[in-house]
Structure 1
Amino acid sequence: MNHVSLVLVSHSEEIAEGLKKLLEQVAPNVDIAAAGGNNGEIGTNALHIQEAIESVCSEKGTVVLFDLGSALLNAELALEMAGGKERVRIADAPLVEGAYIAAVEAGLGKPLEEVVQACEAAKQIVKIEK
Protein backbone atom coordinates (compact mmCIF):
# COMPACT_ATOMS: atom_id res chain seq x y z
CA MET A 1 0.00 0.00 0.00
CA ASN A 2 1.60 3.20 -1.20
CA HIS A 3 -0.95 5.65 0.16
CA VAL A 4 -2.52 6.64 3.43
CA SER A 5 -5.62 4.49 3.88
CA LEU A 6 -9.05 5.42 5.27
CA VAL A 7 -11.56 3.82 7.63
CA LEU A 8 -15.12 5.16 7.63
CA VAL A 9 -17.08 4.63 10.85
CA SER A 10 -20.81 5.33 10.88
CA HIS A 11 -23.79 4.27 12.92
CA SER A 12 -25.34 3.23 9.60
CA GLU A 13 -23.89 0.45 7.47
CA GLU A 14 -25.50 2.02 4.41
CA ILE A 15 -23.89 5.41 5.05
CA ALA A 16 -20.43 3.90 5.53
CA GLU A 17 -20.72 1.66 2.46
CA GLY A 18 -22.23 4.42 0.29
CA LEU A 19 -19.48 6.86 1.24
CA LYS A 20 -16.86 4.20 0.55
CA LYS A 21 -18.34 3.65 -2.92
CA LEU A 22 -18.21 7.40 -3.62
CA LEU A 23 -14.62 7.74 -2.43
CA GLU A 24 -13.43 4.71 -4.41
CA GLN A 25 -14.53 6.58 -7.54
CA VAL A 26 -12.71 9.74 -6.44
CA ALA A 27 -9.52 8.00 -5.31
CA PRO A 28 -9.34 4.47 -6.75
CA ASN A 29 -5.74 4.03 -5.58
CA VAL A 30 -6.60 4.56 -1.88
CA ASP A 31 -7.54 1.60 0.31
CA ILE A 32 -10.79 2.32 2.13
CA ALA A 33 -12.69 0.22 4.67
CA ALA A 34 -16.22 0.81 5.94
CA ALA A 35 -17.23 -0.05 9.49
CA GLY A 36 -20.88 0.83 9.73
CA GLY A 37 -23.69 -0.39 11.88
CA ASN A 38 -23.70 -3.00 14.60
CA ASN A 39 -24.72 -6.51 13.56
CA GLY A 40 -27.34 -5.27 11.11
CA GLU A 41 -28.65 -2.57 13.43
CA ILE A 42 -27.86 1.11 13.96
CA GLY A 43 -24.75 1.62 16.09
CA THR A 44 -21.04 0.98 16.02
CA ASN A 45 -18.97 -2.01 17.03
CA ALA A 46 -15.36 -1.76 18.24
CA LEU A 47 -14.47 -5.23 16.91
CA HIS A 48 -15.86 -4.35 13.47
CA ILE A 49 -13.85 -1.11 13.50
CA GLN A 50 -10.70 -2.95 14.59
CA GLU A 51 -11.12 -5.42 11.71
CA ALA A 52 -11.62 -2.53 9.28
CA ILE A 53 -8.47 -0.79 10.50
CA GLU A 54 -6.42 -3.96 10.23
CA SER A 55 -7.79 -4.71 6.74
CA VAL A 56 -6.39 -1.48 5.25
CA CYS A 57 -3.61 -0.56 7.70
CA SER A 58 -0.85 1.03 5.67
CA GLU A 59 2.80 1.71 6.41
CA LYS A 60 2.02 5.26 5.23
CA GLY A 61 -0.70 5.53 7.87
CA THR A 62 -4.44 5.22 8.27
CA VAL A 63 -7.04 7.89 8.97
CA VAL A 64 -10.23 6.95 10.81
CA LEU A 65 -13.24 9.22 10.28
CA PHE A 66 -16.47 8.87 12.27
CA ASP A 67 -19.97 10.30 12.37
CA LEU A 68 -21.17 10.67 15.99
CA GLY A 69 -19.77 10.65 19.54
CA SER A 70 -20.13 6.99 20.44
CA ALA A 71 -18.42 6.08 17.17
CA LEU A 72 -15.37 7.93 18.52
CA LEU A 73 -15.47 5.88 21.73
CA ASN A 74 -15.61 2.63 19.77
CA ALA A 75 -12.86 3.78 17.39
CA GLU A 76 -10.62 4.56 20.37
CA LEU A 77 -11.42 1.15 21.88
CA ALA A 78 -10.70 -0.51 18.51
CA LEU A 79 -7.28 1.16 18.43
CA GLU A 80 -6.52 -0.14 21.91
CA MET A 81 -7.63 -3.64 20.90
CA ALA A 82 -5.40 -3.42 17.81
CA GLY A 83 -2.40 -2.64 19.97
CA GLY A 84 -2.56 1.15 19.59
CA LYS A 85 -1.31 1.20 16.00
CA GLU A 86 1.22 4.01 15.82
CA ARG A 87 0.38 5.18 12.31
CA VAL A 88 -3.41 5.39 12.83
CA ARG A 89 -5.03 8.76 13.45
CA ILE A 90 -8.63 9.46 14.36
CA ALA A 91 -9.60 12.67 12.59
CA ASP A 92 -11.82 15.33 14.13
CA ALA A 93 -13.60 16.05 10.86
CA PRO A 94 -17.08 15.93 9.36
CA LEU A 95 -17.54 12.45 7.97
CA VAL A 96 -18.55 13.16 4.37
CA GLU A 97 -16.57 16.31 3.60
CA GLY A 98 -13.59 15.20 5.67
CA ALA A 99 -13.47 11.76 4.08
CA TYR A 100 -13.74 13.26 0.58
CA ILE A 101 -10.83 15.61 1.24
CA ALA A 102 -8.83 12.82 2.93
CA ALA A 103 -9.35 10.54 -0.08
CA VAL A 104 -8.17 13.23 -2.50
CA GLU A 105 -5.12 14.10 -0.39
CA ALA A 106 -4.22 10.45 0.18
CA GLY A 107 -4.65 9.76 -3.53
CA LEU A 108 -2.14 12.51 -4.25
CA GLY A 109 0.36 10.68 -2.05
CA LYS A 110 0.34 13.18 0.80
CA PRO A 111 1.79 12.02 4.15
CA LEU A 112 -0.42 11.04 7.08
CA GLU A 113 -0.24 14.31 9.02
CA GLU A 114 -1.08 16.38 5.92
CA VAL A 115 -4.07 14.16 5.16
CA VAL A 116 -5.32 14.54 8.75
CA GLN A 117 -4.84 18.32 8.73
CA ALA A 118 -6.61 18.69 5.39
CA CYS A 119 -9.63 16.64 6.38
CA GLU A 120 -9.90 18.35 9.77
CA ALA A 121 -9.91 21.71 7.99
CA ALA A 122 -13.22 20.63 6.44
CA LYS A 123 -14.86 21.80 9.67
CA GLN A 124 -14.35 25.35 8.37
CA ILE A 125 -16.09 24.84 5.02
CA VAL A 126 -18.96 27.25 4.53
CA LYS A 127 -21.54 25.70 2.21
CA ILE A 128 -23.93 28.64 2.03
CA GLU A 129 -22.90 32.27 2.36
CA LYS A 130 -25.47 34.21 4.36
Structure 2
Amino acid sequence: MVGLAVVSHSKRAAEGIAEIAAEMGGDTRIEAVGGDGQGGIGTVSDDIEAALAAADDGDGVVVLVDLGSAVMNAEVAIETADAEAVIADAPVLEGAVNAAVAATSPTATLDTVREQAEDARDIDKL
Protein backbone atom coordinates (compact mmCIF):
# COMPACT_ATOMS: atom_id res chain seq x y z
CA MET A 1 0.00 0.00 0.00
CA VAL A 2 1.26 3.48 -0.85
CA GLY A 3 2.07 5.46 2.29
CA LEU A 4 1.87 9.17 3.00
CA ALA A 5 4.13 11.64 4.78
CA VAL A 6 2.74 15.01 5.86
CA VAL A 7 5.51 17.58 6.27
CA SER A 8 4.81 20.91 7.94
CA HIS A 9 6.86 23.57 9.62
CA SER A 10 4.64 22.95 12.65
CA LYS A 11 4.69 19.53 14.27
CA ARG A 12 1.17 20.10 15.59
CA ALA A 13 -0.11 21.08 12.14
CA ALA A 14 1.42 17.96 10.56
CA GLU A 15 -0.12 15.77 13.26
CA GLY A 16 -3.55 17.38 12.83
CA ILE A 17 -3.51 17.02 9.04
CA ALA A 18 -2.39 13.40 9.34
CA GLU A 19 -5.18 12.77 11.86
CA ILE A 20 -7.82 14.15 9.48
CA ALA A 21 -6.44 12.17 6.52
CA ALA A 22 -6.35 8.99 8.61
CA GLU A 23 -10.13 9.22 9.04
CA MET A 24 -10.40 8.54 5.30
CA GLY A 25 -7.32 6.40 4.81
CA GLY A 26 -8.21 3.06 6.36
CA ASP A 27 -4.98 1.14 6.88
CA THR A 28 -2.85 3.64 4.95
CA ARG A 29 0.38 4.44 6.74
CA ILE A 30 0.42 8.19 7.34
CA GLU A 31 3.41 9.76 9.05
CA ALA A 32 3.40 13.32 10.37
CA VAL A 33 6.68 15.18 10.58
CA GLY A 34 7.37 18.80 11.39
CA GLY A 35 9.16 21.30 13.51
CA ASP A 36 12.82 22.03 13.87
CA GLY A 37 13.53 19.15 16.26
CA GLN A 38 13.81 21.50 19.22
CA GLY A 39 10.17 22.48 19.62
CA GLY A 40 10.27 25.35 17.15
CA ILE A 41 9.02 26.03 13.65
CA GLY A 42 10.93 24.45 10.75
CA THR A 43 11.69 21.17 9.02
CA VAL A 44 14.59 18.74 9.28
CA SER A 45 15.55 16.47 6.38
CA ASP A 46 16.69 13.63 8.67
CA ASP A 47 13.29 13.62 10.39
CA ILE A 48 11.56 13.58 7.01
CA GLU A 49 13.74 10.67 5.90
CA ALA A 50 12.72 8.74 9.03
CA ALA A 51 9.06 9.45 8.30
CA LEU A 52 9.50 8.14 4.75
CA ALA A 53 10.95 4.91 6.10
CA ALA A 54 8.08 4.55 8.58
CA ALA A 55 5.40 5.21 5.95
CA ASP A 56 6.82 2.88 3.32
CA ASP A 57 5.71 -0.74 3.11
CA GLY A 58 7.36 -1.27 -0.26
CA ASP A 59 4.95 0.60 -2.55
CA GLY A 60 6.43 4.06 -1.98
CA VAL A 61 5.38 7.25 -0.23
CA VAL A 62 3.58 10.36 -1.41
CA VAL A 63 4.83 13.43 0.44
CA LEU A 64 2.58 16.44 1.16
CA VAL A 65 4.36 19.65 2.16
CA ASP A 66 3.24 23.04 3.44
CA LEU A 67 5.82 25.66 2.40
CA GLY A 68 8.98 26.20 0.36
CA SER A 69 11.74 25.00 2.67
CA ALA A 70 9.68 21.91 3.50
CA VAL A 71 9.92 21.09 -0.21
CA MET A 72 13.68 21.57 -0.16
CA ASN A 73 14.16 19.39 2.92
CA ALA A 74 11.78 16.76 1.56
CA GLU A 75 13.79 16.64 -1.67
CA VAL A 76 16.99 16.11 0.32
CA ALA A 77 15.30 13.36 2.36
CA ILE A 78 14.01 11.62 -0.77
CA GLU A 79 17.51 11.64 -2.30
CA THR A 80 18.99 9.88 0.72
CA ALA A 81 16.06 7.63 1.67
CA ASP A 82 15.75 3.96 0.83
CA ALA A 83 12.03 4.44 0.18
CA GLU A 84 10.75 5.49 -3.22
CA ALA A 85 8.94 8.78 -2.69
CA VAL A 86 7.45 11.67 -4.63
CA ILE A 87 6.28 15.12 -3.58
CA ALA A 88 2.73 16.04 -4.54
CA ASP A 89 2.22 19.60 -5.75
CA ALA A 90 -0.99 19.93 -3.76
CA PRO A 91 -2.58 21.83 -0.90
CA VAL A 92 -1.39 19.93 2.14
CA LEU A 93 -4.70 19.21 3.90
CA GLU A 94 -6.95 18.59 0.92
CA GLY A 95 -4.16 16.75 -0.88
CA ALA A 96 -3.54 14.51 2.13
CA VAL A 97 -7.22 13.59 2.34
CA ASN A 98 -7.45 12.87 -1.39
CA ALA A 99 -4.23 10.84 -1.26
CA ALA A 100 -5.40 8.87 1.77
CA VAL A 101 -8.60 7.90 -0.02
CA ALA A 102 -6.71 6.99 -3.20
CA ALA A 103 -4.21 4.87 -1.28
CA THR A 104 -7.00 2.58 -0.07
CA SER A 105 -7.58 1.30 -3.61
CA PRO A 106 -6.11 -2.14 -4.25
CA THR A 107 -4.80 -0.82 -7.58
CA ALA A 108 -3.18 2.30 -6.09
CA THR A 109 0.27 3.22 -7.33
CA LEU A 110 2.65 5.97 -6.36
CA ASP A 111 1.58 7.91 -9.46
CA THR A 112 -2.18 7.47 -8.99
CA VAL A 113 -2.02 8.54 -5.34
CA ARG A 114 0.13 11.58 -6.21
CA GLU A 115 -2.28 12.51 -9.02
CA GLN A 116 -5.27 12.33 -6.69
CA ALA A 117 -3.46 14.52 -4.17
CA GLU A 118 -2.71 17.05 -6.90
CA ASP A 119 -6.35 17.02 -8.05
CA ALA A 120 -7.12 18.73 -4.73
CA ARG A 121 -5.84 21.98 -6.25
CA ASP A 122 -9.16 22.24 -8.07
CA ILE A 123 -11.46 21.72 -5.06
CA ASP A 124 -13.86 24.62 -4.55
CA LYS A 125 -14.73 25.36 -0.95
CA LEU A 126 -17.79 27.48 -1.68
Q: Distance in 2 between matches of 1:60 and 1:81?
A: 17
User: Displacement of 1:77 after TM fit?
Assistant: 0.7
Whether 2:42 is the aligned partner of 1:72: answer no
User: Displacement of 1:108 after TM fit?
Assistant: 2.1
Q: Distance in 2 between matches of 1:51 and 1:116?
A: 20
Percent of aligned positions with the same letter in both sequences?
A: 42
Q: TM-score, normalised by structure 2?
A: 0.92
User: Displacement of 1:125 after TM fit?
Assistant: 1.4
Q: Distance in 2 between matches of 1:125 and 1:28?
A: 22
The residue number in structure 2 matching 1:111 is 109
Whether 2:97 is the aligned partner of 1:100: answer yes
Q: Distance in 1 between matches of 2:91 and 2:57?
A: 22
- Flag as ranges the 4+ runs of structure 1 deviating above 2 A: none
Q: Distance in 2 between matches of 1:12 and 1:49?
A: 13
Q: Distance in 1 between matches of 2:72 and 2:26?
A: 29
Unaligned ranges ≥5, structure 1: none
Larger radius of gyration: 1
- 3-state SS of the aligned residue for 1:6? strand
The amino acid of 2:124's aligned partner reads V
Aligned residues: 124
Q: Distance in 2 between matches of 1:81 and 1:61?
A: 14
Q: TM-score, normalised by structure 1?
A: 0.89
Conserved 8 A contact 2:18-2:96: no
The residue number in structure 2 matching 1:7 is 5
The amino acid of 2:50's aligned partner reads E
CA-based RMSD of the aligned residues comes to 1.2
The amino acid of 1:63's aligned partner reads V
